[in-house]
């Protein structure tokens, strides 16, 4: 068994030596289920007390993420350790391997991590960083290879349109994202959406986003080619636009089989939309 934090380390340097004798597995940080196991919270038996513990644990999970070593440290040490992880990824997994400018790749990483869930264009990043278009594309691929971020495309049956539209980026660990971008509780909505993305990727879903009059956070293209549209609304009061955008998507795409709205605590089914609390969805 060979393990490492860099995708290219495994795929490019070892797979060629083990042709026909290798399988690659992508290991994510702790899932929320696993995090609750570490806390010894018995989530299969949910009562009011357990539910409150789960919701409190979710807030902590937003902040510190899912690296096992971080879980066992005191709060001050958690932040130091997460900063060390971020620096190691930048300097050891990217700078030393690809011989790129450390400040520029770090600035780009911070920009993408701070703006998780927001659509971005290469041109916009060029204006922010001063990097060339080719360099930006290379740098983003290095950040993805190092498992710091993942990007998703716009959903369209036209490959050209899908590739030409803005992309969205997500962090593969919210703890590293927070420490790198100096953002915590005020970003709860973005962190909820990011956590939903990580879970979808853990399940190996094919994930996109879509934007019409409204925006759909995630479009899942299922193996049967039917579509699932998901919005995340982690607020006390659900914005009407979250509902309208899901209904707009269903009207636009007749292969839509399921509409899901992940909420803070609302659970119901209405207008063909399944409302599920995020914490409960993560435990399914």
Residue 86 lies in a domain: no
Q: Which of 227, 217, 211 is nearest to 278 (CA)?
A: 217
Question: Could you read off the pLDDT of 138-176 as tens digits, one per residue?
Answer: 999 999 999 999 999 999 999 999 999 999 999 999 999
Residue 68 lies in a domain: no
User: In sequence order, which ranges of the chain are alpha helices (DSSP H)?
Assistant: 7-11, 32-39, 48-64, 68-71, 75-88, 96-98, 102-114, 122-129, 133-145, 159-164, 174-181, 188-202, 240-252, 278-282
In whole angstroms, give the CA distance from residue 253 to residue 81. 45
Full residue range of the structural domain in which residue 243 is found: 205-284
In whole angstroms, give the CA distance from residue 19 to residue 258. 40
Residue 62 lies in a domain: no
pTM of the model: 0.92
Burial tier of 188 (Cβ tally within 10 Å: 0-12, 13-18, 19+) = middle
Q: Mean pLDDT over all residues of the chain? A: 92
Res 10: pLDDT: 46
Residue 79 lies in a domain: no
Residue 145 lies in a domain: no
Burial tier of 177 (Cβ tally within 10 Å: 0-12, 13-18, 19+) = buried
Residue 47 lies in a domain: no
CB-based contact 154:166 (threshold 8 Å) = yes
Q: Which of 155, 164, 165 is nearest to 228 (CA)?
A: 155
In whole angstroms, give the CA distance from residue 92 to residue 42. 39
- CA atoms 193, 281, 51, 239: torsion sign: positive
H/E run at residue 209: strand 207-211
The residues, any chain, with a CB within 8 Å of residue 165's CB and separated by 6 or more, are 119, 153, 154, 156, 211
Res 44: pLDDT: 84
Res 37: pLDDT: 96
**Helix 174-181 / helix 75-88 crossing angle, nearest 10 deg:** 90
Q: What is the mean pLDDT of residues 223-241?
A: 96
Res 269: pLDDT: 98
Question: Could you read off the pLDDT of 3-60 as tens digits, one per residue?
Answer: 555 555 545 555 565 666 666 778 899 999 999 999 999 988 889 999 999 999 999 9
Question: Could you read off the pLDDT of 72-88 as tens digits, one per residue?
Answer: 999 889 999 999 999 99
**How many domains does the chain fold into?**
1
């Amino acid at each position: 068994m060979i393990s490492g934090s860099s995708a290219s380390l495994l795929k490019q340097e070892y797979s060629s030596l083990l042709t026909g004798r290798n399988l690659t597995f992508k290991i994510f940080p702790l899932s929320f289920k696993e995090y609750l196991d570490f806390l010894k919270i018995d989530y299969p038996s949910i009562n009011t007390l357990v539910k409150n513990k789960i919701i409190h644990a979710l807030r902590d999970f937003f902040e510190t993420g899912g690296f096992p070593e971080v879980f066992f440290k005191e709060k001050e040490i958690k932040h130091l350790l997460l900063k060390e992880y971020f620096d190691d990824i930048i300097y050891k997994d990217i700078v030393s391997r690809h011989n790129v400018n450390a400040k520029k790749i770090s600035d780009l990483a911070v920009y993408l991590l701070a703006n998780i869930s927001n659509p971005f264009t290469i041109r916009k990043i060029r204006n922010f960083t001063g990097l060339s278009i080719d360099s930006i594309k290379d740098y983003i691929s290095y950040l993805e290879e190092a498992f710091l971020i993942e990007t998703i495309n716009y959903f369209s049956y036209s490959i050209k349109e899908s590739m030409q539209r803005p992309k969205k980026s997500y962090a593969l660990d919210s703890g590293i994202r927070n420490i790198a971008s100096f953002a915590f509780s005020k970003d709860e909505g973005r962190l909820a959406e990011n956590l939903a993305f990580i879970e979808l990727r853990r399940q190996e879903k094919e994930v996109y986003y879509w934007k019409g009059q409204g925006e759909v956070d995630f479009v899942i293209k299922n193996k049967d080619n039917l579509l699932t549209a998901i919005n995340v609304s982690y607020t006390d009061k659900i914005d009407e636009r979250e509902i309208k955008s899901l209904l707009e998507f269903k009207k636009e795409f007749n292969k839509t089989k399921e509409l899901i709205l992940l909420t803070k605590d609302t659970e119901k089914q209405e207008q063909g939309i399944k409302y599920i609390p995020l914490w409960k969805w993560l435990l399914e």
